[in-house]
Amino acid sequence: MKIKFFLSIGFLFFLGGNAALGGDLLDEESRWKYVLESNDIGSVHSFLLNYPNSVHVKQAREMLALYPKQPLGKLTTDTPVCRDALSTRSASQVSWYKKNEKYGMYDFIIPENHFVSAPTLEIVPRGSSADKVLLENKFMIDLIATKTGGCAIYLRWSSGSGLPAECKCEPVDKNFEFESDLANGILTDYSRMHAGNDVCKSHNKDYSAEIEKYLAEVIRLKKARADSIRKLKETGKFVLPTEVGEMEDIYFALPRIEKKTMQRTAYEKTKSELELRELDKLGNFCERQLPKDISEARSRLKADSMKVQ
């Protein structure tokens, strides 16, 4: 199955000769502001290549060093099919650069069966020592373990490709815990509601029961959605790949949602902002806005569930 890692706007901007995002109309600080707002690692990489002497280089390089977000993987199904997939898909990630004379100083040679025993390959300019080459000037290919137990080959900061479903990987770091964007999003809303409620308790308003009803409804409807897709799949009915992915995401997220772990950053930010409000505005929030927000969240949830039945 093919996994797409979309080529970022920032990286396309670099490859296109500084053409994207307004071209040369943007100055260095404007581009840096875009980098911070975009949450796009490709734009970080692009910035470093285009502004190597910027005052923001150190921070940008620290941001690059945090990737990949997915864990480096170890192949647990060492079969001819998986070895061939590793070879062909890692080669495909650098095929464009091999043809481009701009990158003629790099030898894009991937040792046979490299990723069977190692999760990463660094490609640096010919004759250079890897420890002396800046991070942004390295081509780094990673074998990634996915949260569903699969594998993907990823050209860092650019694009990637999943291996066949029969190929399995596990994180090299045994203590790695996968995050769930679905769970994080739901628990962020849950945490913000509780932050508002904790502030409103001083105004003799307590919506704890309504908030817990909201989360219980989320869990019930999400589980029902995943179960319905699984049932269709098990009975041989046609199911879209996106629906299978949705089902897997839900099943992965549910145990995390059920733990009701508070997202502390969202909670503290919401609480501190509310505590700065004037008393009459805070009173209006507690009397009208918070219960309205909870009610509307439940209504949206029910409406969304009706769309996918």
Q: Which residues pair with 73 in a beta bridge?
A: 171
Given phi > 0 = left and psi -120 to 50 = alpha, else beta, which region is 204?
A: left
Closest to 140 (Cα-Cα) out of 97, 199, 84: 97
d(CA 226, CA 237): 15
Say if residue 191's pLDDT is above 50. Answer: yes
Q: Is the peptide bond before 119 cis (omega within 30 degrees of 0)?
A: no
Look-up: residue for tokens 């890897």?
130
Residues 6 or more apart whose Cβ sits within 8 Å of residue 165: 1, 150
Q: What is the pLDDT of residues 263-305, one digit of tens each?
A: 999 999 999 999 999 888 999 999 999 999 999 988 887 776 6
d(CA 98, CA 34): 30
Q: Is the pTM of this model over 0.75?
A: no
Contact 290, 206 (CB under 8 A): no
CA 186 vs CA 82, 211, 220, 258: distances in Å? 36, 12, 13, 11
Return mean pLDDT, the chain. 86
Say if residue 260's pLDDT is above 80. Answer: yes
Q: Which residues pair with 170 in a beta bridge?
A: 74
Q: What is the pLDDT of residue 20?
A: 40
Strands 151-155 and 159-162: antiparallel
Tokens of 272: 């501190």
Look-up: residue for tokens 């409807």?
221
DSSP string covering 146-199: -TTS-EEEEETTTEEEEPPTT--EEESSTT-----HHHHHHHHHHHHHHHHHHH
Residue 68: CA atoms inside 13 Å, Cβ hemisphere, count?
A: 26
Determine the 3-state secondary structure of 8 from DSSP: coil
Range with lowest mean pLDDT among 35-44, 81-90, 248-257, 284-293: 35-44
Tokens of 69: 């977000």
Look-up: residue for tokens 């979309």?
6
Tally helices (H) and strands (E) across the chain.
12, 6
Q: What is the pLDDT of residues 65-95, one digit of tens each?
A: 887 778 999 999 999 999 999 999 999 999 9
d(CA 153, CA 90): 6
Q: What is the pLDDT of residue 124?
A: 94
Say if residue 4's pLDDT is above 50. Answer: no
* 59 confidence band (pLDDT: 50, 70, 90): very high
